[in-house]
Amino acid sequence: MTDPVTTVRSTCPRDCYDACGIVVKKRGDRITKVTGDSTHAISRGSLCGKCAVAYNGSWLDPRVRLQQPWRRIGPKGQGMFAPATWEEVLPEIAARLRPLVDAGGDGLLQTHYTGTCSLIAGSFPLRFFNRVGAVEVDPDSVCNKAGHLALQMTFGDSLTGFDPRTVRDTACILIWGANPSSSAPHIDRHWFREAVATKIVIDPIRHPTAAAADLHLQPFPGTDAALAFAMLHVIQAEGLIDQEFLTACTLGWEDVERHVRQSTPEWAEGVSGVPAALIVEAARRYGRGPSLLWLGQGLQRQRLGGNVMRSCALLPIATGMLGRPGTGFLYLNGFPGRGIDVDYLTGASLGRTGPRSISHMDLAAHLEDRDAARALVSWNNNIAASSPEQGRLRRALCREDLLHVAIDLVQTDTLDYADFVLPAASFLEFDDLVLSYFNYTVSAQVKAIAPMGHALPNQEIFRRLARALGLRDPELFEPDASILRELLKQTGLSLTFEELAGRGTVDYGSEPVMPFADRRFLTPSGRVEIASDRFAQAGPFARAATAGGRAAGGGQDAHALTGDVLAHEQQLRQRGARSQTARGRRRLLPSR
């Protein structure tokens, strides 16, 4: 007799704006099919292409999944391993890490990012690394750091964006340098396309979201600040500046106003290639509002990317398009916006040496330094494929004296260089929580089957490693059930994990969150800081600390929102860069 089909409702925890509800169909202990959850407000029954394949393919395939630890037997980089057991490898790894741990973590490097974004599997291991004092490769530095720095310094917060539910109150959605048709496919298909509002997209590429918009502005890459200033010029000329907000809540407008006056749409057309009439139209639609501004991560991956973000963020500032229904900006909605105490989750108090980090941009060089990097633990990411300077990085990973422990679900480019490969459980194999970085929701990731073979969730791997090292801090061993209870308590939702699992996804509060409604900004001045000496002072710090900081503009660049971004574009123009980018544009944009 065959087992009856049962279903488990869960959530996709991948690095994606959507956080789709999923349904796992099982027969006995075997998964037969993973689909989108038709009752889920975002996925509405469908998975994206990559997940439809992966959930039903690689992650269920015993030939692809890592099922036990492996120990290297060939030269580094060749991917030659012999099978081993947890009981064998953990004491060996611990013995080799111990001198570094005893020395306060000097020489121990860890890289991680968003293989899974679920709360416990994605963040609990940081308790271990905080405790042992490892140097962290700042994960955001390869992705979105410049934007975070810019917005944090301007508003005191880059992680509390508009609540997408407020779309019902908006007249205009402006998406600047994001491509939801690919990076947030369900949000594109449902939230964006169904919205009753004017839709504007600013992107050099005419991707499907741009094609579906009412207005598509196609600037030459890297000319966004000129566009932003020209839109502000129009907004000012049309009397759409919110002077009351500027006076009551901001610092530094007078520093930029001069440039706004000079930045005519005709000038910006010359710099950006966007017709002046289109700039005027977009500025009017945005400026009348209420308007939402989605600042994409692609927007800040450019020279002076941080200052570009600051320039674009002037739109909601100058129009006071904040803190009321239908207004606001969004970069990423982070954990704290749903009550989560990130310091608790990551064991910040265990850190004895204070946070130490390097940028992904400096990873290859750091790994070449035999004293600075004696051991590397890479987990939840695939640095050999995703970090810069790949050739140099891969050569450094070949160092025979570098102890490299790598954790993943499947054999990756990075794992080929490891001394020890440890098998991680997939998100179908343990309970966890998922917070979308777009919607203000809280979702359950629910265990549908036991981990494949001897695979373990990240958090359990680090508990066992801590034990093998003889560490005793109770935070390192807190069980999942206790963490889930505490995290749910922090959300204030009054739900047990089982209750949440029954519902799949719940909204955080019944009404849209309204960031900055109280006009409190967590900057040193308590105001929105458009320009201040901090930007100048942040330059060298940012440059040293992060690649994003580099992109945000070092030294005088960082101060120079008022001048440098625009000056840079003027220079481009004077150097005849326009004709070069125009050639690039023809290549990129056959549709126009």
Ligand X SMILES: Nc1nc2c(c(=O)[nH]1)N[C@H]1C(S)=C(S)[C@@H](COP(=O)(O)OP(=O)(O)OC[C@H]3O[C@@H](n4cnc5c(=O)[nH]c(N)nc54)[C@H](O)[C@@H]3O)O[C@H]1N2
The site for ligand X (CB under 6 A) is made up of 15-16, 50, 113-116, 121, 142-144, 176-179, 182-183, 202-205, 207, 219, 221-222, 224, 296-299, 302, 379-382, 385-386, 407-410, 412, 424, 458
* CB 52, min distance to ligand SF4, A: 8
CB nearer ligand SF4, residue 16 or residue 530: 16
CB of 197 to ligand SF4, least distance (A): 23
Interface with ligand SF4 includes 20 (CB under 6 A)? yes
Please give the Cα distance from 254 to 385 (Å, whole number). 45
CB nearer to Mo ion: give 100 or 143.
Answer: 143
> Is the four-CA dihedral 575, 550, 143, 174 of positive or negative sign?
negative
Q: Which one, 115 or 548, has the nearer CB to ligand X? A: 115
* Among 93, 97, 121, 143, interactor with Mo ion by CB under 5 A: 143
Strand 135-138 relative to strand 357-359, pairing: parallel
Structure tokens at 40: 């889920």
Out of 147, 185, 298, 553, name the contact with ligand SF4 by CB under 6 A: 185
Residues 48-67 that bind ligand SF4 (CB under 6 A): 48, 51
Give the contacts of 571 (CB within 8 A, at least 6 positions apart): none
* Distance of closest approach, residue 187 Cβ to ligand SF4, in angstroms: 9
- The least CB distance from residue 144 to Mo ion, in Å, is 6
Q: Cβ of residue 29: shortest distance to ligand SF4, in angstroms?
A: 23
* CB 274 within 8 Å of CB 268: yes
Q: Cβ distance 533 to 510 under 8 Å?
A: no
Q: Contact, 405 vs 419, CB < 8 A?
A: yes
Tokens describing residue 75: 């030269």
Residues 261-300 that bind ligand SF4 (CB under 6 A): none
Q: Choose, by CB under 6 A, the member of 18, 163, 224, 557 that binds ligand SF4.
A: 18
Q: Which is nearer to ligand SF4, 47 or 97 (CB)?
A: 47
Q: Residue 199 contacts by C-beta under 8 Å, 6 or more apart in sequence?
A: 172, 173, 175, 192, 212, 213, 214, 215
Written as one string, the DSSP assignment of 206-249 is --HHHHTSSEEE-PPTT-HHHHHHHHHHHHHHTT---HHHHHHH
What distance in Å separates the CA atoms of residue 113 and residue 387, rounded to the nearest whole number?
A: 11
Residue whose CB is less far from ligand SF4, 443 or 532: 443
Residue whose CB is less far from ligand SF4, 26 or 186: 186
Q: Scan residues 27-56 and list those touching Mo ion (CB under 5 A).
A: none
Nearer to ligand SF4 by C-beta: 185 or 204?
A: 185
Q: Residue 585 in contact with residue 273, Cβ under 8 Å?
A: yes
Binding positions for ligand SF4, rule: CB under 6 A: 12, 14, 16, 18-20, 43, 47-48, 51, 185-186
